[in-house]
Amino acid sequence: MESFLSDLLASAEVQAFASGFPTMLLHLAATLGLLVLGAVIYAALTPWREIELIREGNAAAAVAFAGVLVGLAIPLAVSLTASTSLREIGLWGLATVVIQLLAFRIVDMILTGLPQRIRDGEVSAAVLLVGAKLATALVLAAALSA
């Protein structure tokens, strides 16, 4: 049994895991930090206060903010797969967050009237907004992988 365990611990797979796992955790933490940063910036820049609306039980605001989170996560996930170092994750991740926040703002401006409809609790308006934001996220993710 001892021989089996020592052979297992000395295997290339276990050694690769042991050396790679801390790096993966660091890359994950950096990317999640960028996701939280992007969500906080978005919440601060929106003309409506989604977090307050969500606390008040506004389902449309919850749907819209969930779309923001997923919309930020998609290109961040792609930038994470395309990056090889923490510095690269930071650079590509920050660029992704900035571009995505700009795209979200443009979508908000193009789809005028939706913020008020979301404040009023119209889930259909939130779903349209989420669709537009996810579409921009997917296009940005594709651009990152090109």
* pLDDT for residue 8: 66
Residue 1: band (very low, low, confident or very high) from pLDDT cuts 50, 70, 90: low
Whole-number Å distance between alpha carbons of 137 and 72: 7
Max Cα distance, the chain (Å):
69
- Rounded to a whole number of angstroms, the distance between the first and last alpha carbons of the chain is 49
Closest of 88, 72, 71, 70 to residue 80, by C-alpha: 88
The predicted-structure confidence for 118-139, as pLDDT tens digits, reads as follows 889 999 989 988 998 899 899 9
Q: What average pLDDT is seen over the chain?
A: 88
pLDDT of residue 53: 93
Q: CB under 8 Å to 141, separation ≥6 — which residues?
A: 74, 75, 77, 78
* Number of structural domains in the chain: 1
pLDDT of residue 19: 85
Q: Is residue 8 part of a domain?
A: no
Question: Mean pLDDT throughout 42-52?
Answer: 84
The reply to whether 91 falls in a domain is yes
The full length of the chain comes to 146
Q: What is the pTM of this model?
A: 0.83
* Residue 14, domain member (yes or no): no
How much is the pLDDT for 96? Answer: 86
Residue 109: what pLDDT? 79
Give pLDDT, residue 116: 86
Show the domain range for 125. Answer: 27-145
pLDDT of 7 strictly over 80: no
Angstrom distance (rounded) from CA 122 to CA 64 = 10
Handedness of CA 19, 21, 24, 29 (dihedral sign): negative
- Which pLDDT score, from 0 to 100, does residue 101 have? 85
Question: Residue 69: its pLDDT value, please?
Answer: 95
Q: Does 21 reside within a domain?
A: no
Q: Is residue 9 part of a domain?
A: no
pLDDT over 90 for what percent of the chain? 42
